[in-house]
Chains A and B, each alone.
Chain A
Amino acid sequence: MVAFSSFVGPFVPELLLLGGMLLVLLLDVLGVRRNETLATVALTALALAFLSILGDLGFAPLGVLATVGPGALNVAPAAGAAPLYHLTSFGLIFQAIFLVAALLVVLASSSRPSGERGAPIFYGLLLLATVGMLLVAVASDLIFLLLAVEVVGVPSYLLVAYRRGEARSMEAAMKFFIVGALSTVLSFYGASLLFGAYGSTNLFVIHAAAASVGTPVLVLVGYGFLLAGLAFKVTLVPFHAWAVDVYDGAPTDVTAFLAGGTKKIGLFAFFLVFLGPVLLVHPATAGASPFGGGPLDLGPTLSIALGVIAVLTMTVGNLLALLQKEMKRMLAYSSISQAGYMLIGVTIGTAPALTGATLQILAHVLMKGGAFLVVAGVAGLGIGPLIDDWKGLGVRRPLLGAAFALMLLSLAGVPLTIGFVSKFVLFSSAVQAQGWFIWLAVAGLLNSALSVFYYARVLKVMYFDRTDPIAAIEAPPASGLGAGGLGYGRAAAIGLAAVLIVGIGLYPQPILGAIQSAAQHFLLTGV
């Protein structure tokens, strides 16, 4: 029994999701294709997986659901061991964040029309991609990691195209697939160079070797390719150009999943690949004080490269977002700029910075995922894709308008929202690390100010602009769904995201404390 649980235990959440996926496909074969039924199956699987992860993290009320047993987390492997996967509380926190993203999307999708085609494919693929996301968070081997990234990638390409016959979606899927394939090739090539240098793809072996052998040019080139490959996934400038077309062309619920969910696996991969091994090249720094002390040495070259990319990503994303006329494209560019903030955490590499970046990732799941879910709902009300089409929406639909305004304010970093807390912790950590990192805080804050322009413009349109009398007559909701045409599931998902945005914004202590202690363990064990 012990052997069985130690073998299966770490993968209970993944197995639950796989079971859910198989059940969805089975129901499809049996002819049960009602959207609500399939969504319920997917929701149940995701919720059970989420609870089990919370149990593993030591959330006391869910102790019964814990599957890995006490003391199984954050144990450094024996010297010379090369495990494929490694359980850390940091990884589990990311699993929980990924599941929140999937849960919100599925909850919202449950209110799509019952008879819509492609529902089984949608939920099946979404669960499969989520399995891949969970696997990324426990990887400790480059091949395992990159394969897990592919388990996310392939279903995502298909998700973008699941509404067959829509030309824009097909084009977006094609673009997404080609870029994704290129990114995979680059990453694997980088991994092969590291294998050539050290004779292993295991991250523990790589950093042990790097500590004793040093980092020859071959390794730096390998890291360069890995950086490029993963940068595509995270939509970092200059590897960002595909993202807007894909986010724009995909069905909006899928966009919410891509921007809120799958993109974040690239960031966790950044933590694994760049923070873990490179950290231990300098064991003196790493052991001395991973917490509260000076920044951990990432290797000056990589650190500066990451810093430059972070600032470029924020700035380019924000500047282009300013020019957009369509809501979805504006949010897509804003999503690019947000990735820049998150990269600050990797660049600085201290426990405080990781804490800030992780909360920023959770914040982005809630506010950007939530915002795209609102956009999908609003499109269902028969409102056009342009920002100007949202005229007066805040007055006509006060609750929906308030939730969307809240998400935008959180994206802009306005206080009392989670978006403020995460940026506050992140930029504080940059100032606290001193040295040139303070300029990351300055760049980040100036970018936040810049971003206020385009978020405030949407608020202006929603609240201040007069609607012309003809457009003001609300078209009857085509779907005939509850909650004023949004559907109860979507309304619940949007409401949940809004409540979390404010709740965590007001009292972030429990979540921040958990993230920080996990980040400290992560920096100590290296993977």
Chain B
Amino acid sequence: MFPILSAVLATLLVGTVLTFLSGKSARWVALATSFVFLAEVAYLLLQFPGWAGFAGGVPQFADGESYAWIHLGWLQVNYTLGIDGISLVLLVLTAILQLATVVYSWGETKKPAAWFGLLLLTCLGCVGVFVALDVLLFFLFWEAVLVPMFFIIGYWGGPRRRYAAIKFFVYTHVASIVMLVGLLALVFYSHATSFDYASVYAAAPSLSVVTQAFLFLSLFFGFGVKFPIVPFHTWLPDAHVEAPTGGSVLLAGLLLKLGGYGLIRWAVFVLPNGFHEVQPVLFVVAFASIAWGSVVSLAQRDLKRMVAFSSINHMGIVLLAIAVGSSLGLLAAVLLMFAHGIVSALLFMSSGSVHHTFGTRDIASVGGITPRTPVLATMIMIGSLASLGLPWLISFPAEFTALLATWDRLAYWVLLPLGILVVTAAFYIWMMQRMLFGPEKGIPESAHDLPAYETVGMGILAAAAIVFGVLPFLLVNLITASPIRVFPGV
């Protein structure tokens, strides 16, 4: 069978290298790569046979490939790839975001070859994480994402970019290390025959429940810092505020999703008993993240900082949905990750456009922008309404499912996230009221509406938010083509 997943990775790799080498025409190469990648993902979708269920107690994957890499007897590492519905949904997200980001940053003038190359490299790492089915390969891609993002923040970022870049790198790297120890212990303590997902999955139940719980916690720490979870979230506001717009888009849209994906694929599925033991911890952390992210957003004056904190809030709901530990909850988590990927990307692009149109992101000092910049105002409105969970937009089905799953498991505790959703709605509506409507203020004479490429970039995301909001079953059918359909039934 044709190794389509390797071909996808190769496309992005070749595209990255060509982009780095192509100087002034880098953006065209990046755009071409994005289209090829999009076509490949479409092909993957069209020929996706659905989920094959379990074989020998191990979940099956489509488009599998496996080649020997390091074979030392005690250390059997393979290059193993494969996808199921969860990975495929996130691949679709990656393809959309990559295209939108490349188009949005069409006007980048500071070292464009390096800029577009690093964008593609980040996407390559994320795709690798979503398709890798070997402990080491997964970890490699996981770490590979750090390097381009470090340079994106550190070179193209705002005034405190160096501090932010180093903080981002160190936080996530230390977390990765704890995760790596957990993964290694998972392999060796369970006497798995290889580093393959299938061997680890099959061997993990032999571990005692206490060991499973400890391993789960170490993996949760590693994945959680990427989420990010309170109290390990402090790298995120700094990274977002300093990062250039394209960097923020990928950071919020893709990098945060790596944490959720990793938690579901490598911790919840592999160590269900350990997961069961530590569920209370997850609930506490999730509630803390939801509440903290929301309350702190309300206090922000900087539009971008507000969106960044609202990411903590939304990812907290993702964690809550995972912690519920039901089929419905995991479905909601993946759906929500997709929704947040689209919506937060749109909002970060909006705040980037606000910044260079009005010279500031301070919510209080700009007002009444709708008559002068109607397209920008529309984009901000779509993003905000989607983010606060308006029906017919993408977040609604996801948040609704998440709350339903929470109700199933925790009954009236659901009032806590529900109440906080009202706060979330409040800060978005308040922001829109001050910035979009009311008397004009703080608008420089030179301000004009979005350039075409920014409109197209944001338009792609806005369209996705509407299409999948109206037709969420497109995603739901795909997501349930995975062990989520039967979790925790087996």
Contact = CB atoms under 8 A, between A and B. Distances in A.
Q: Do A and B bind each other?
A: yes
Interface of A: 291-292, 352, 355, 409, 414-416, 421, 424-425, 427-429, 431-432, 434, 438, 441-442, 445-446, 448-449, 452-453, 456-457, 460, 463-464, 507-509, 512-513, 516
Given A431-B184, A434-B189, A352 B72 contact: yes
B463 interface: no
Interface stretch (B34-42, B140-148, B334-342): B140-148
A239 B380 CA distance: 63
A460 B188 contact: no
Contact of A452 (B70, B154, B169, B188): B169
Nearest to B169: A456
A431 B70 contact: no
Contacts of B70: 421, 425, 508-509, 512
B276 interface: no
Interface stretch (B43-51, B174-182, B464-472): B174-182
B72 A512 contact: yes
Contacts of A428: 75, 184, 188
Given A460-B162, A463-B155, A445 B73 contact: no
Contacts of A445: 177, 180-181
A449 B177 contact: yes
A441 B169 contact: no
A441 B188 CA distance: 13
B74 interface: yes
A427 to B, nearest CB: 7
A425 B70 CA distance: 10
Contacts of B136: 424
The DSSP consensus for interface residues of chain B is helix
Given A415-B144, A424-B136, A441 B184 contact: yes
Nearest to A516: B72
B177 A460 contact: no
Contacts, number: 89
B476 interface: no
B170 interface: yes
24 contacts: A291-B74, A292-B73, A292-B74, A352-B74, A415-B140, A425-B72, A425-B75, A427-B180, A428-B184, A429-B74, A431-B185, A431-B188, A431-B189, A432-B188, A434-B189, A441-B181, A441-B184, A442-B181, A445-B180, A463-B155, A464-B154, A464-B162, A509-B69, A512-B72
A457 B163 CA distance: 11
A438 B170 contact: no
A456 B170 CA distance: 10
Contacts of A463: 151, 154-155
B177 A446 contact: yes
Contacts of B188: 428, 431-432, 434
Interface residues of B, number: 34
Nearest to B143: A415
A154 to B, nearest CB: 39
A414 B147 CA distance: 9
A427 B182 CA distance: 12
B173 interface: yes
A512 B73 CA distance: 11
B158 to A, nearest CB: 13
A427 B155 contact: no
Given A463-B155, A464-B162, A512-B72, A449 B174 contact: yes
Contacts of B169: 452, 456
B110 interface: no
Interface in B182-233: 184-185, 187-189
A291 B75 CA distance: 11
Contacts of B173: 449, 452
Interface in B159-177: 161-162, 165-166, 169-170, 173-174, 177
B177 to A, nearest CB: 4
A112 B215 CA distance: 54
A460 B166 contact: yes
**Residue from B69, B70, B161 having most chain A Cβ neighbours under 10 A:** B70
Nearest to B72: A516
Given A414-B147, A509-B71, A456 B166 contact: yes
A432 B184 CA distance: 8
A291 B187 CA distance: 17
A414 B166 contact: no
Contacts of A457: 166
Nearest to B69: A509
